[in-house]
Chains A and B, each alone.
Chain A
Amino acid sequence: MRVVIAEDLALLRDGLVRLLSASGFEVVEAVDNGPMLLGALTRHRPDVAVIDVRLPPTLTDEGLRVALEARRQRPGLPVLILSQYVEQLYARELLSDQAGAVGYLLKDRIGDVDQFVDAVRRVAAGGTAMDSEVIGQLLTRRRSDEPLGRLTPREREVLALMAEGLSNAAIAARLLVTDKAIAKHINNILTKLGLPPSDDHNRRVMAVLAYLEAEPG
């Protein structure tokens, strides 16, 4: 699997290259600024790009802007944005094209190597990887939402993990229950939230995220 990395701090860039190479990825290019990233994305057409949100020359949200621009040129180009902080506004912008294949994670998560590598693979495969912090904020913001209030505590846990983008099997493994139990929970959740059932897991995740993203009240 071919990956482009964009990170301006050499320490972290080298770490990412080492980590992803050791996990079976082929790092085709590792850049340290926005304009070079755009060039690398067009040149290599990688299976996935791992991008730091803050990049030179502006040292603002350059990475995110380049990622969005690249996805405008090539819809559905898998990008995973890394950041020292998560901002719902940015999550919304990444998700707004409904094309999936996006990730938005705190840099902290790289420390959990297995889960991080899993997230990169998921995004490359067209899935999503939203930080638990983003999902937590979305759920807090909608705490007075009535359909959400009808979920059982277990269903809320499943909903949160599902919104992060985890597969049924991964959710089952986290919660130490069977895949079948998770499938049942997910059906209940979709019914209670009034979302259409679907066999496509990615589509279900996008529907759930769109629901959580909508204005509260």
Chain B
Amino acid sequence: MRRMAAPVAGLLLNAAAGVAAWVLLVLLAGCAALVPVRGLGVRPLARVRSWTHGLAAFQLARADRALGHEPAAPESAHAQEPRENAHARETAWLALQAVTGPGGVVLIVGVLSAEAVIWHLPTARPSIQLTVALSLAVVAIGAVAVAAVPLLHRTQARLAELLLRPGDTDRVRQLTESRAAAVSAQAAELRRIERDLHDGAQARLVSVRMTLGLARRASDPAQVRELVGEAWESAGQALIDLRDLVNGIHPPVLADRGLAGAVEAAALHVPLTVDVDVDLPARLEAPVESAVYFAAAEALTNAAKHSRAQRAWVRLRHSEGVLRLVVGDDGRGGADPRGTGIDGIGRRLSVFDGTLDVRSPAGGPTEFIVEIPCALSSQKISPS
């Protein structure tokens, strides 16, 4: 009997969740209908969606237990999913839950009623055979019903899992895409470096050697001086080319001071008053540091270039395994989240399952929010 307790309780809870689903469905429809009326329903809609999300999360956790799965890390697989997809999935699940939730209880009650009806069938000529046949039927139906209870319970759990958790195929597609993007971005980067070296420092050194070769052959001291001067200029330009190149690959200040120092240094490069607030107990993995640094630098450059901002702020925190970077400015807002620079940041972050959210209502303020699930490295930040 104890083996039945959990599934029965589960079915009852599911029925309750089904009733809740009905209520939420009605509320969702009501709020959605109010959205066109001067946006009246927008905020309540968000509220109802968060309730829906809460109910879905509760059911998903129960489903995990019922199916004997390890509870999944919260939201890890969702990190990359657009919010609209999650809403769509949850609404579909709500509709299904509204029907199937009470379904189990209805089925059981139905079976029991059927048995009662069979048992009390008015029989004209009661006979032993008929009584035995009816008894067998009642026992058989009852056995099927008892067997169906855990099955129903598991089916409902499975349905919840199917609808509420983006499947492995989605995840695999996501990883394939971000890996392909990372590989091609890396290849493009190498090509750019090769081209820059070829057209820049390499070419200049060739010219230095050529000029010095000429100076070696020249006999007129004035001409020698002139040629050496030319070579000297070229060598200087080669140094400038190399410095720019190195800065684009890996800013030396990032190597020297880590993310905190590098972000502080980046803040000094823009003509804005920037409030930098970095609180990280340890260094991050180098590739993550680099991606976050370039995201912060790009966001600050955007703020300085396009937003007509006076002040900007950078906040960097790490908590519960997630690194969160916020770069904001008090400018006029309206930043295009599909701009090339922003798009590039997004692609760079996607390799680390990171997300970029740009909130930039017309009139401002603009906020770039970057989140990357990552661990801190054991290397402590050395005091400076």
Contact = CB atoms under 8 A, between A and B. Distances in A.
Contacts of B247: 85
A144 B271 CA distance: 8
A151 B219 CA distance: 48
A141 B271 contact: yes
A54 B271 CA distance: 28
* Interface range on chain B (Cβ under 8 Å from partner): 20 to 34
Contact of A88 (B256, B269, B272, B310): B269
B330 to A, nearest CB: 11
Interface string A53-92: 0100000110001000000000000000000110111001
Contacts of A137: 268-269
A84 B246 contact: yes
B268 A143 contact: no
Interface string B299-312: 00000000000110
Contact of B256 (A61, A92, A106, A215): A61
B255 interface: yes
A111 B253 contact: no
Contact of B232 (A60, A92, A111): A111
Interface in B228-274: 232, 235-236, 239-240, 243, 246-247, 252-253, 255-257, 261, 264-265, 268-273
Contact of A65 (B252, B253, B311, B384): B384
Contacts of B256: 54, 60-61
Contacts of A85: 243, 246-247, 252
A107 B256 CA distance: 18
Contact of A111 (B236, B252, B257, B273): B236
B310 A217 contact: yes
A108 B253 contact: no
Given A84-B246, A89-B261, A60 B269 contact: no
B252 A140 contact: no
A89 B264 contact: yes
Nearest to B304: A141
A158 B247 CA distance: 30
Nearest to A107: B239
A60 B268 contact: no
A137 to B, nearest CB: 7
Interface in B261-293: 261, 264-265, 268-273
A216 interface: yes
Contacts of A215: 273
Interface of B: 232, 235-236, 239-240, 243, 246-247, 252-253, 255-257, 261, 264-265, 268-273, 310-311, 384
26 contacts: A54-B252, A60-B256, A61-B257, A65-B384, A84-B243, A84-B246, A85-B243, A85-B246, A85-B252, A88-B269, A89-B253, A89-B261, A89-B264, A89-B265, A89-B268, A106-B239, A106-B243, A108-B240, A111-B236, A140-B271, A141-B270, A141-B271, A216-B272, A216-B273, A217-B272, A217-B311
Given A61-B256, A108-B239, 6 more contacts: A60-B257, A87-B252, A108-B240, A143-B271, A216-B272, A217-B273
